[in-house]
Amino acid sequence: MQPVISITGLDKTYASGFQALKDIHLEIYRGEIFALLGPNGAGKTTLISTICGLVSPTRGRIVADGHDIVTQYRHARERIGLVPQELTTDAFETVWNTVSFSRGLFGKPADPDHIEKILRALSLWNKKDNALITLSGGMKRRVMIAKALSHEPRILFLDEPTAGVDVSLRKDMWALVRNLRGMGVTIILTTHYIEEAEEMADRVGVINRGEIVLVEGKAELMRKLGKKQLILQLKAPLQTIPEALAPYALEPGAEACELVYTYDAQRGNHNIADLFEALRSAGIAFKDLRTEQSSLEEIFVNLLREQK
């Protein structure tokens, strides 16, 4: 796949001496939704601010849509739209003016048709003459996205797009981001909501203490690291687990009659047929069963634990 952003050997040390990014190598592919996931203070904002040219790299190189972000800053920046965490707008300005003005800042000629298209796509068209101060929080956030899209960037950064946004609005935002990808925009979002990465991303990059710990397709990540559990509901509670079942490392479940078998979902040889046979031989009958797969949340927590 073709990278739209290539980062090689990127370090960032702030003036305070604090090293916020350590030897980052990362490629973002054209047309994907990439979620940069990490705990507070991991370096997510520093990384996207560096790609957007707002923070200068200490070492390393970043190329955005074919342009070096340091030596060809203007060209690189033109390709990029950034929706920052904080809403930075003039509260008394109208939606239309805010978005149109932003396009002008990039030296692009006025294009009312384009502005109309994005306002409609973001369900803001009927608010175009409203002052920002009269809008709800969710609408203001959408204005920030419209602003970032006003100069027709190929790459859109969303820094914590749903921080402090309630659950139903969060779902609207996810649908919106998918729509934007449908329009051909590559999307990089930062989040510490695992649910958000799980819901939206094609690939997930995990950053912790300034280092990229892992980059993986979301489905692969879940498949690779996800443990699966088979939960058997027994007909009668077990006092002890018979010796013959020891190889399966069975554990009692949350309910009295439950027995849990944990296996690696990726491996084909997880012996479930053998387990059933062994249960039958031991005279243990079950009336129902279900499987559960670990979520990205559990995977993430385990990853960070391993790193310590």
Name the minimum Å distance from CB 179 to ligand ATP: 25
3-state secondary structure of 172: helix
Name the minimum Å distance from CB 213 to ligand ATP: 13
Stretch that binds ligand ATP, among 13-21, 96-104, 228-236, 252-260 (CB under 6 A): 13-21
- DSSP-derived letter for residue 150 is T
Name the minimum Å distance from CB 32 to ligand ATP: 21
Please identify which residue in 18, 280, 292, 301 interacts with ligand ATP, judged by CB under 6 A: 18
Starting from the edge strand earliest in sequence, which strands make up the sheet with 203-208, in order?
80-83, 155-159, 186-191, 33-37, 203-208, 211-217
Total binding residues toward ligand ATP, as defined by CB under 6 A: 13
Cross-strand bridge partners of residue 82: 157
Stretch that binds ligand ATP, among 42-50, 105-113, 239-247, 262-270 (CB under 6 A): 42-50
Name the minimum Å distance from CB 77 to ligand ATP: 19
Task: Tell whether residue 81 is a contact of ligand ATP (CB under 6 A).
Answer: no
Task: Tell whether residue 56 is a contact of ligand ATP (CB under 6 A).
Answer: no
**Residue 101 CA, distance from chain mean position:** 30
Name the minimum Å distance from CB 123 to ligand ATP: 27
The C-alpha atoms of residue 198 and residue 209 are separated, in whole angstroms, by: 22
Task: Tell whether residue 20 is a contact of ligand ATP (CB under 6 A).
Answer: yes
Query: Alpha carbon of 7 to those of 24, 68, 201: distances in Å?
Result: 7, 10, 19
Task: Tell whether residue 40 is a contact of ligand ATP (CB under 6 A).
Answer: yes
Which residues fall within 8 angstroms of residue 174, CB to CB, at 6 or more apart?
Answer: 162, 196, 199, 200
* For ligand ATP, the closer CB: 54 or 133: 54
* For ligand ATP, the closer CB: 27 or 211: 211
CB crowding 91-126: b at 16 or more within 10 Å, else e: eeebbbebbbebbeeeeeeeeeebbeebbebbebee
Please identify which residue in 10, 26, 37, 38 interacts with ligand ATP, judged by CB under 6 A: 38
Task: Tell whether residue 45 is a contact of ligand ATP (CB under 6 A).
Answer: yes
Site residues for ligand ATP, 169-228, by CB under 6 A, read 192
Hey, what amino acid is at 266? Q
Task: Tell whether residue 42 is a contact of ligand ATP (CB under 6 A).
Answer: yes
Name the minimum Å distance from CB 56 to ligand ATP: 11
H helix intervals, the chain: 44-51, 73-78, 95-105, 112-121, 137-149, 167-182, 194-200, 218-225, 272-281, 296-307
Cross-strand bridge partners of residue 157: 82, 188
Residue 251 structure tokens: 């554990």
Name the minimum Å distance from CB 148 to ligand ATP: 18
Task: Tell whether residue 269 is a contact of ligand ATP (CB under 6 A).
Answer: no
Name the minimum Å distance from CB 160 to ligand ATP: 6
Residue 197 structure tokens: 């990465």
Site of interaction with ligand ATP (CB under 6 A): 14, 16, 18, 20, 38, 40-46, 192
